[in-house]
Each structure stands twice: as C-alpha cells, then as structure tokens.
Amino acid sequence: MIPQDTIEQVRQATDIAQVIGEYVRLKKKGKNHWGLCPFHTEKTPSFSVSTDKQIFHC
C-alpha cells in the first residue's frame, strides 16, 4: 500500500486537472472541470475534476 504522506506529496506537486486534461477534454464550470467520462461511453459530461480537493468523480 502507498503511504498516505506519499499520496499527499503527489497531490501537492501536481494539478489533477492538468494531468487529466492531457487525456480528457475538460471545461471549467464553477469550481470544477467537467468532461466526458473516459471509463464509459456518454454524450453528456458527467466526469468532474476538483482542483481544490485534487480528486475526480463520475
């Protein structure tokens, strides 16, 4: 398992929206970025990326 302090170091050193944006077209709406989910086929963006929390969710 990856130590929690290592996970926090990676979160602080990277911008999750920039990394995911290399693979998914994202559009900023409010605090989050939105795009088409890369894990399933869809036409309406349901994939959200939070730069504040450094997480994504579909």
Asked if 15 contacts 51 with a C-beta cutoff of 8 angstroms, the reply is: yes
Nearest to 28 by CA among 12, 11, 50, 10: 50
The pLDDT assigned to 23 comes to: 97
Low-confidence ranges of the chain (pLDDT < 70): none
**Dihedral (C-alpha) 6, 11, 15, 19: value to the nearest 10 degrees?**
60
The pLDDT assigned to 34 comes to: 98
The pLDDT assigned to 17 comes to: 96
Task: Count up the domains in the chain and report the number.
Answer: 1
Q: Quote the CA–CA distance of 24 and 20 in Å, as a whole number.
A: 6
pTM over 0.85: no
The pLDDT assigned to 11 comes to: 87
The pLDDT assigned to 44 comes to: 95
Nearest to 11 by CA among 58, 50, 38: 50
CATH number, position 21:
3.90.580.10
The pLDDT assigned to 51 comes to: 94
Residue range of the domain that includes 25: 4-57
